[in-house]
Amino acid sequence: MVALLQVLILDALITVDNLCKSYRNGTVKAVDGASFTVSQGEVFGLIGPNGAGKTTILGCLLALIEPTSGKVSIGGKSPYDLAVKPLIGFLPERPCYNRWMTIEQFLKYQHRLAKRPEEELPQAIKEVLALVELDVDPKKRRIRELSRGMLQRIGLAQALIGKPQLCFLDEPTSGMDPLGFVLIRKLLLKCKTEGITVVLNSHHLQEVEKVCDRIAFIRRGKIESVQSVESLAQLSQVLVVEWQSSTGEKSVDVATLEKIARQAGSNLIDNNGDSARFAAPDKDVAANLIVALTGGGVKIYQATFEKRELVEMFYEDSN
């Protein structure tokens, strides 16, 4: 176990190399040549449309699905290595736990599977229920009595009770109300501060954007790009400028707008007579652009940043 812990401090905690998973004698490719790495302490997001292959990739990382070809390693070891298992926490997309168990019995079971010290158990259960903000009597409430959102919280509790070094979360906000979304965000940020590596997939892209360090965009089993959230935030800055044209005056011509934009370190995206959209990587560029436009005789009355969703950028970049 010590040797594995030493391996886990390496930058590339997870390595996925040309991973492929096919069904129906190779006619259906769920994952097609996926390659990426995940660093120690990173929150890494997998996003894409339904059927893109996100859950299949997680299944291969967890040794729940055997790849057709390619290589997956965790801390330099195979995901099938039993020494890796106690260091992993996993929240499945559709939790299906032993319904007859009480919450306490279920969490005890998960704690012991992780081979944590027995004397930690009572405090561990108390702490993890507080973490997922579930105020119930764990000795009395049974799994079968939980709502969908409560079941998701218990799933998070079992993923964290073994103090994992690596967490795989498949659609963690599924079935959650708005307060649950806030909870997930807090938990993921806590994982970050504690150095826990997290791999997650989610359709709630605004939430992914707030917590992930890097994001892999997946379509039809292929990873089309892996980008840092910081770079995406820069790409997402589009400044919409509107100006007033006096009666009889011509609209500002495209060549003038393009020249002014270049001078300010920006680019003209498009224009619509009395308004235009400019790429503005940061507020300094936006401020310089407004000054340059005003200096060039453009009578600006409004300038606002346009919010673009990750999914829009994904599809835009893919076309």
Q: Which pLDDT belongs to residue 80?
A: 94
Q: Which pLDDT belongs to residue 230?
A: 73
**Could you read off the pLDDT of 62-94 as tens digits, one per residue?**
999 999 999 999 999 999 999 898 889 999 888
Q: Which pLDDT belongs to residue 7?
A: 41
What confidence category does residue 5 fall into, taking pLDDT thresholds of 50, 70 and 90? very low
First to last CA, the chain: 47
pTM reported for the whole predicted model: 0.74
Average pLDDT over residues 283-287: 87
Give me Rg for the CA atoms of the chain.
24
Q: Which pLDDT belongs to residue 164?
A: 92
pLDDT over threshold 70, residue 315: no
pLDDT over threshold 90, residue 265: no
Q: Which pLDDT belongs to residue 233?
A: 62
Average pLDDT over residues 267-282: 84
Within 10 angstroms of residue 6's Cβ, the number of other Cβ atoms is 11
**CA 157 to CA 191: how far, in whole Å?**
13
**Could you read off the pLDDT of 123-143 as tens digits, one per residue?**
999 999 999 988 889 999 999
Q: Which pLDDT belongs to residue 234?
A: 59
CB within 8 Å of 168: residues ≥ 6 apart: 58, 61, 62, 88, 89, 90, 91, 198, 199, 200
Q: Which pLDDT belongs to residue 192?
A: 86
**Could you read off the pLDDT of 95-116 as tens digits, one per residue?**
788 889 999 999 999 999 888 8
pLDDT over threshold 50, residue 296: yes
- SS3 for the chain is CHHHHHHCCCCEEEEEEEEEEEECCCCEEEEEEEEEEEECCCEEEEECCCCCCHHHHHHHHCCCCCCCEEEEEECCECCCCCCCHHHEEEECCCCCCCCCCEHHHHHHHHHHHCCCCHHHHHHHHHHHHHHCCCCCCCCCCEHHHCCHHHHHHHHHHHHHCCCCCEEEEECCCCCCCHHHHHHHHHHHHHHHHCCCEEEEECCCHHHHHHHCCEEEEEECCEEEEEEEHHHHHHHCCEEEEEECCCCCCCCCCHHHHHHHHHHCCCEEEEECCCEEEEECCCHHHHHHHHHHHHHCCCCEEEEEEECCCHHHHHHHHHC
pLDDT over threshold 90, residue 31: yes
List the one residue out of 74, 71, 76, 94 whose CA is nearest residue 18: 71
Average pLDDT, the chain: 84
- Residues 103, 161: contact at Cβ < 8 Å? no
The CATH code of domain 236-318 reads 3.30.70.330
Q: Which pLDDT belongs to residue 9?
A: 39
pLDDT over threshold 70, residue 307: no
Residue range(s) in the chain whose domain bears CATH number 3.30.70.330: 236-318
Domain formed by 2-227, architecture = 3-Layer(aba) Sandwich (3.40)
The residue whose two tokens read 């600006």 is 300
Residue range(s) in the chain whose domain bears CATH number 3.40.50.300: 2-227
**CA 310 to CA 175: how far, in whole Å?**
21
User: Is 177 or 267 the better-scoring residue by pLDDT?
Assistant: 267
Among 17-21, 128-132, 169-173, 177-181, the minimum mean pLDDT is found in 177-181
Distances (CA, A) of 316 to 67, 217, 310: 30, 12, 10
